[in-house]
Amino acid sequence: MFSPILVTVVFVVGVLIGGVGIGGVLLVPSLNYFSSVPLHVAIPACMVGYIFTGLIGAIMYAKQGTINWPLAIKICLGALPGAYFGGYALPFLPSYWLGVAIGFLILASGLDALLRTGRHLHTEPPSDNVELISIGFITGIGSALTGTGGPLLLIPILLWRKTPILTAIGLSQAVQVPISLTATISNMAHSEVDFSLGLSLALFLGFGAMLGAKFVHVLPIKFLKKMVASILVVVGLLILARAFS
């Protein structure tokens, strides 16, 4: 099932997840395109893989002091029920309109981050408990429905809320574990989970995530922010192009 091309793609996705949080969006279509894995098989398997990238990312970012744990806990409190509900709804919901909404959200957030100069802007993460839990809930639902693990939705939302880039990436690493684990439990109860595929993905994703997390902390903040924003714009356009094609 794993051709050399697919192994390379999965590894690169792991590097992106560990480095900038964003990358999981490429995994489901890659499995479908390179190995003809049906979407409703690929998504639950990817969630299994993200459990391990989340653990690796959370440990490595915590060692660097990049994770704001009080915020992470509140976001996770919302993400847990959201991920379970998303896993429950996965077999019943078409992904078209969800993909369109996510594509516009990601594109808008990336453009906003690119165009904002930030010279006179004091950035800080959201602090309201209800807002943080709501952000987690939305992230959990969308991640479980699309097989993206959490960062793809959380980072654009946090950047739109003018959260510092390393704080946003660190929070996205921490949220992967509860979202992926809860979605997997829900998938086991309401659909099928290919654990063989999921654990194989975890192996290659994990090596990539370790590499990405190791090098991201040496990058200049301005460069990192522009890189993340540019990736968001490209990913948003790709999602919309795929939806409207």
What is the per-residue pLDDT for 1?
63
Extract the tokens encoding 29: 């279509």
What's the pLDDT score for residue 198? 94
pLDDT value of residue 120: 42
Residue ranges of the chain with per-residue pLDDT less than 50: 119-122
Query: How confident is the model over 112-167, as pLDDT tens digits?
Result: 777 765 544 446 778 889 999 999 999 999 888 877 778 888 988 898 888 888 88
Q: Which two three-digit tokens encode residue 28?
A: 């489901």
- Region of 21 (left: φ > 0; alpha: ψ -120 to 50; beta: rest) is left
> Amino acid identity, residue 93?
L
Q: What is the pLDDT of residue 121?
A: 46
